[in-house]
């Protein structure tokens, strides 16, 4: 079992008035919790590369108190693109679990989520083979990545209704993690609970899908004493056409590219 080395917040963080919290925090660019934010970003960018993670953390510690868009970790833009695909996968998985879909076909699985993302997204890098690659790279931090992405999307919509603080091009999962690491961890705790509880059901699914579950041994877990209260993200309704795609899916088909 792996636990992230993220310092606890000095007081318990519980999100009450969501819209007020977002507007207040994003109306400025000051990094309120730099220690927690920097450590969290390091794990999200390089979950299994300690050297690269250490280099990024050292660089970020030398940042000024405000977010500087001209100075970001190497490959950040590409990494964030990959985060979006991982978030697409895990968010759909969340929706499948919440709606109790495919119960007669082994229940929700990452493989089924990837099938739906590939079917509904036609942009570059969304073939099933590419999606599996991104998932394998970031699955041990999927709860963090998805939380930051979901929060970013909600914050963008909030700003679109009534502009405030950051400019539109400053809204990204990276910025949300730097400016609101406490909120990201609140949502990530709920995603972590889901991922770990469903991992115990892997034996009921085709082997290829079972192997794609969050691994309790390698998942980067949130420390128990982090002082944040879980915050459940919204769920979306799975459409009838999505169910048809899943019903047509051959059990155990991971969509990997042939070598």
**pLDDT confidence of residue 72:** 53
**pLDDT confidence of residue 41:** 94
**pLDDT confidence of residue 2:** 95
Residues of the chain short of pLDDT 50, as ranges, are: 68-71, 200, 202-208, 210-211, 254-259
How far apart are the C-alpha atoms of 126 and 250, rounded to whole Å?
A: 19
**pLDDT confidence of residue 65:** 53
How far apart are the C-alpha atoms of 228 and 210, rounded to whole Å?
A: 30
**pLDDT confidence of residue 210:** 45
3-class SS of residue 228:
strand
3-class SS of residue 133:
helix
Contacts of 217 (CB under 8 A, 6+ apart): 1, 2
**pLDDT confidence of residue 235:** 78
With contact defined as beta carbons under 8 Å apart, do 214 and 141 qualify?
Answer: no
**pLDDT confidence of residue 257:** 43
């Amino acid at each position: 079992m792996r636990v992230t080395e993220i310092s606890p917040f000095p007081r318990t963080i519980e999100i009450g008035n969501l819209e007020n919290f977002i507007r207040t925090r994003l109306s400025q660019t000051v990094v309120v919790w730099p220690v927690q934010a920097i450590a969290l970003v390091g794990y999200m960018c390089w979950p299994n590369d300690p050297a690269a993670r250490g280099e990024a953390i050292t660089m970020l510690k030398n940042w000024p108190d405000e977010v500087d868009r001209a100075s970001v970790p190497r490959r950040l833009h590409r990494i964030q693109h990959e985060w979006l695909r991982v978030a697409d996968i895990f968010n759909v998985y969340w929706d499948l679990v919440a709606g109790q879909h495919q119960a007669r076909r082994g229940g929700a699985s990452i493989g089924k989520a990837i099938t739906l993302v590939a079917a509904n997204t036609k942009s570059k890098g969304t073939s099933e083979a590419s999606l599996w690659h991104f998932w394998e790279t970031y699955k041990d931090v999927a709860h963090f990545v998805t939380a930051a992405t979901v929060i970013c999307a909600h914050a963008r919509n909030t700003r679109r209704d009534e502009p405030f603080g950051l400019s539109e091009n400053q809204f990204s999962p990276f910025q949300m993690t730097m400016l609101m690491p406490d909120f990201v961890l609140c949502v990530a705790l709920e995603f972590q609970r889901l991922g770990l509880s469903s991992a115990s059901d892997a034996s009921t699914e085709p082997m290829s899908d079972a192997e794609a579950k969050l691994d309790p041994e390698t998942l980067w877990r949130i420390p128990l004493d982090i002082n944040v209260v879980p915050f459940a993200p919204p769920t979306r309704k799975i459409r009838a056409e999505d169910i048809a795609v899943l019903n047509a899916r051959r059990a155990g088909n991971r969509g990997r590219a042939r070598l």
